Amino acid sequence: MDTSKQFEKQQEAKHLQSRISLFINDFQIGTMLNLSGIRKLRGASPLALFMAIFLLPFEGNNFFQGIVKNKALPFKKDAAYDLLKNPCHNWRKFMLILVIKVINFFNRLTDEKREKVLIIDDSTYDRSRSKAVELLAWIFDHNSRKSLKGFKLLTLGWSDGASFLPLDFVLCSSAKAGKRIQGITKELDKRTCGYKRRLEAMTKSTEHLEVMIQRVLGLGLKADYILMDSWFSFPIILAKLGQHLPVICMGKNMPKVFYHHNNAWLTLGSLYAKLRKRPGKAKILASTVVETRQGQKVKIVFVRHRHKRDWLAILSTKTDLPDEEIVRIYGKRWDIEVFFKMEKHHLNLEKEVQLRDYDGMIGHITITMIRYIFLAFEQRCHDDPRTIGDLFFACSDEIDDLSLAEALQRLLALALDKVRSSGEFVEAAILAMIDAIMGAAIDFIKTSRNLLENSIVTSIL
């Protein structure tokens, strides 16, 4: 290797270590671990163990290379496994404390009038080669249209249109005992976090939605809307979540779901057929306000499909919103798709370590999400000049929110269930966005930001 390139790589590694150390210190990660019941029992401190696991993808290592076989570490592999597998460790509390602090920092950079949204979605957690993993189950993958062994990772996130942050998650097995390959294999005290997490895993995923929303709102988090995909667009779910915040979601033409319009109960497809369409090549074809079986008023906006002669429907429980606003706000849901892709392709969500213990998987998933929070924080500091100091606060414009055109472009790409059957377009688009985010993070790591390092973040927090 060329000497200059080797030196450049060494400098990048040092700068990365410096940025991570600054993030750990400024947000007081050690204190948060202690508050979450993740405390030292013997040997290495929890913070040292957390740091060693946190750094793995940034060093190009997996768990086996970076922890199990790494003799340079001041602790043995069992200490790292114990950190992840302890059922008393409250990883949910740890992540919520951290992400609320980061959101408070982001809120200082955005106008109060900008919409903040909560986004709910799930993704597969693939363990196809496993047999003895605790609570392993057969789950249906909507992308491949096949069943596989693994879990569903139900995730709640927050976005202001410029940054996305994961808030909470449930690693769902199957609510049906017949689909579970393994049951609970660990004897636990019913008061522990691990036992409660296992009960969550065996509960129907839709029952977690309202609980997750109430949990984050109870911490004082402010949001304007809840965004969801079509998998959660049942009227009963809209009625439950609509009690807390207005809901905007993609609609799905289901044969047993009806909407009341002009004294008739119609499916989504039948409703579209009866509406008068806008002329020409309008992107928004039609809209109307209907009523569900729960007596809830819902506005439905029909949008032209970009790739075939078809339509997409967006439902909003806030009926006074203009059609264009509903489409634009729903476009923010794209961020969680990028999050899932980055977690799996860059942050080693599924392949870094093959744990059989359910607590271990919860601990590891939390750490991978903290990695994403770190990258989102670094990207925001890089993109928003106001993080440099108050000098730029008055003369710098706020990061632009989504325009209607951008929202439409995202929305059309979000029709995964209809477009993925044709293959490569959506995958290429998602990977392109991920590469852009990773590129921005890497550019920031390479850039000297001495002004930012002069305790600006510390003073804000």
Residues 6 or more apart whose Cβ sits within 8 Å of residue 236 = 294
Angle at the Cα of 216 from the Cα atoms of 404 and 50, rounded to 5 degrees: 105
Positions of the chain with pLDDT lower than 70, given as ranges: 1-11, 13, 384-461
Tell me whether residue 238 is in a domain: no
Q: How far apart are CA 127 and CA 275, in angstroms?
A: 46
CB under 8 A, 24+ apart: contacts of 348-354: 348/56, 348/57, 348/62, 349/125, 350/125, 350/126, 350/127, 351/62, 352/56, 352/57, 352/62, 352/63, 353/62, 353/63, 353/64, 354/130
- Residues, the chain, total? 461
Instruction: Please name the residues in contact with 347: beta carbons below 8 A apart, sequence gap of 6 or more.
Output: 57, 368, 371, 372
Are 302 and 365 members of one domain? no
**Is 19 found in the same domain as 157?**
yes
Q: Looking at the structure, do residues 163 and 253 belong to the same domain, yes or no?
A: no
Report the pLDDT value the prediction gives residue 112, as an integer from 0 to 100. Answer: 79
Instruction: Give the pLDDT confidence score for residue 459 in this predicted structure.
Output: 39
Residue 456 to residue 302: CA distance in whole angstroms: 46
Residues contacting 362, CB < 8 A, separation 6+: 91, 171, 194, 197
Identity at 300, one-letter amino acid code? I
Residues 343 and 323 in one domain: no
Considering the entire predicted model, what is its pTM? 0.82
pLDDT at 458: 40
Closest among 288, 244, 242, 236 to 266, alpha carbons compared: 288
Burial per residue of 362-376, b for 16 or more beta-carbon CB atoms within 10 angstroms, e otherwise: bbbbbbbbbbbbbbb
* pLDDT one-digit tens code per residue, 207-252: 999 999 999 999 999 999 999 999 899 999 999 999 999 999 999 9
**197 and 124 part of one domain:** yes
145 located within any domain: yes
Same domain, yes or no: 145 and 221? yes
User: Would you state the structure tokens that stand for residue 34, as one six-digit string?
Assistant: 């202690």
User: For residue 211, is it within any domain?
Assistant: yes
**Same-domain check for residues 11 and 122:** yes
* Cα–Cα distance measured from residue 76 to residue 93, given in angstroms and rounded to the nearest whole number: 27
Domain check: are 297 and 439 in the same one? no
Contact, 381 vs 445, CB < 8 A? Answer: no
In a domain, 65, yes or no: no
Looking at the structure of the chain, the number of domains it has is 2
Same-domain pairing of 30 and 166: yes
Question: Looking at the domain assignment, is residue 81 inside a domain?
Answer: no
Domain extent for 283:
245-330
Give the contacts of 190 (CB within 8 A, at least 6 positions apart). Answer: none
- Tell me how far CA of residue 370 lies from CA of 84, 91, 301, in angstroms: 14, 11, 36
Among residues 281, 313, 330, the one where a domain terminates is 330
Residues 223 and 275 in one domain: no
pLDDT at 142: 80
Question: Is 44 among the domain residues?
Answer: no
Supply the pLDDT for residue 436.
62
Tell me, yes or no, whether 318 lies in a domain: yes
**Judgement on whether residues 352 and 323 belong to the same structural domain of the protein:** no
Is residue 292 a contact partner of residue 235, using CB atoms and an 8 Å limit? yes
pLDDT confidence of residue 178:
94
Residue 320 lies in a domain: yes
**Residue 76 structure tokens:** 């043995």
Indicate the residue among 330, 365, 383 that finishes a domain: 330
Last residue of a domain, one of 330, 357, 375: 330
Q: Are strands 146-159 and 137-141 parallel, antiparallel or unpaired?
A: antiparallel
CA gap 67, 81 in Å, rounded: 10
Same domain, 31 and 155: yes
